[in-house]
Amino acid sequence: MAETRPRKAAQKRGSLTEAQDQNTSTRDPRRRKIDHQPDNPPAGAQGRERAMEDIPELFATEDTSDVDLKNPVDFWIQNGSWPRQYFKPDVEHLLARKRSLSSSTTPSDQKPLEEKSAQYRDARYETLLATKGSFMTQSKLGINSQSETLCQNLLQMEQIVPENTLFRDDIFTTTCQKIHNRNEARIIQDISRLIVPSAESLATYGATDNAPDDAPYLEILTESVNEAWSNSIPLTGSRPQPDYSVGFQREAFTTAQLEKLSPFIGNFIAGDLSYFMATYYMYFPFLTSEVKCGSEALDIADRQNAHSMTLAARGIVELFRLVKREAEVNRQILAFSISHDNQTVRIYGCYPVLEGENTRYYRHPIRNFCFTDLNGKEKWTAYRFTKNIYDVWVPDHFKRICSAIDQLPSKVDFDAPALSESTGLSQDLESHHLASLESNTAPFLGDEDDRLQRGAMGTSFTTPRPNKRRKSPMKKS
């Protein structure tokens, strides 16, 4: 009896070995199709084969060497990402990323006014931004001449200002006295929309004073109020949550353009992260506003805006890199921000400086003034500036974005799943952050966001690891 048990166990192991060898032999011909495609491939695979044309090597790590390229959906279901073999390294980092199951995708991840600015209160946050390639200063070369002219035009062009508001000449002083020493919420309630007008409200009123008659660009804009940019790939630990922000709504783009953006957007409803989105309904944000109380608190608002503007400008840079037109946006202002309290306004523009594959983002000061001086002589300056952004700058900016999207190669799509399905690709690049900041009380980097921000700046701020060749399961004869 004792001898029969080992004998049976040996026979069982032998049977399992034979079964494994048989399974391997049945899989090998299917793998061989990767290198030796049949004359008439299945129709469902034709799009994926077109996606792989002109790709000299397959980019895969060792753990994906057994991937069946004819069944990538199975791989996505198991791993939450597409096989790396499908993508060139300059495209891969831009694909949408699945949100971790531990991360909230509901409005509950939005923070109260005081809590959301906690990490920005530390002056070292500016240093943290610098480690990510975002600087709250001007570059040596500054913005180009085109952006210089733009800023002057946005400041000087006249706009019709609203009547019967709290900024009316006869009650302006009283208004300023009533909000003196009041909290942030009160300032937002009373005067914020008189400094940074609502794009959607202007669209409702049909106020397009300087916009072309045949191009109602206000209608394609959307805004968020104190809403976390939950669909944006973060730069530091926390995602921005501007008091006010403006971008383009989904309906601004054609069906063909949305299809080309699909691999980079993913399942935006479920919360996939993208370089090109802020919230699930806002594409390519370009304006943020933060409100604070007191002059020192404006420094906090500036840090918040610097973070948000960097993400906004980054999306444009990466889009233009995809179509080899990044030189067009070099030293161009791509996003604006306005910080204000009950008496002071600071207006900035964010622009990239490209040096080869490296990109750094800088801040250009456009205006810094007290709107209560001289009986409110400049009380409408920020309002006019913002409205000129909508009417003068947005049309050209939008056309430029659309022209880049139209140039995106269709083969990047490779029969991508519908927008109701997720198209994400996780990355594990080394993060760059200050150890001293991480260990202190200000929670700059959370566990979830720390993982997501790795490689967040893509080719701009990371040195890519050398790609490993995929080991062929079969030796070529």
Give residue-wise pLDDT tens across range 404-442.
999 998 755 444 443 333 323 333 323 333 333 333 433
Amino acid, res. 359 = T
Q: Is residue 54 part of a domain?
A: no
Per-residue model confidence as pLDDT tens digits over 313-355: 999 999 999 999 999 999 999 999 999 999 999 999 999 999 9
Q: Is residue 67 part of a domain?
A: no
Cβ proximity of 30 and 68 under 8 Å: yes
Closest CA to 337 of 282, 291, 401, 378: 291
Beta carbons within 8 Å of 80's beta carbon, 6+ residues apart? 98, 422, 424, 426
Beta carbons within 8 Å of 312's beta carbon, 6+ residues apart? 247, 278, 284, 285, 286, 288, 334, 335, 350
Q: Which pLDDT does position 426 carry in this prediction? A: 30
Mean pLDDT across the chain, nearest whole number?
Answer: 75
Higher-confidence residue of 295 and 469: namely 295
Q: Is residue 220 part of a domain?
A: yes
Range of lowest pLDDT (13-17, 272-276, 360-364, 430-434): 430-434
Q: Is residue 406 part of a domain?
A: yes
C-alpha distances in Å from residue 406, one per residue of 85, 93, 355, 401: 25, 20, 25, 9
Q: Is residue 45 part of a domain?
A: no
Total tally of structural domains belonging to the chain: 1
Domain that holds residue 374: 107-460
Cβ proximity of 85 and 467 under 8 Å: no
Phi and psi at residue 342, to the nearest 5°: -80, -5
Structure tokens given for 455 = 């490689």
Q: Is residue 64 part of a domain?
A: no
How far, in Å, CA of 99 to CA of 270, rounded? 8
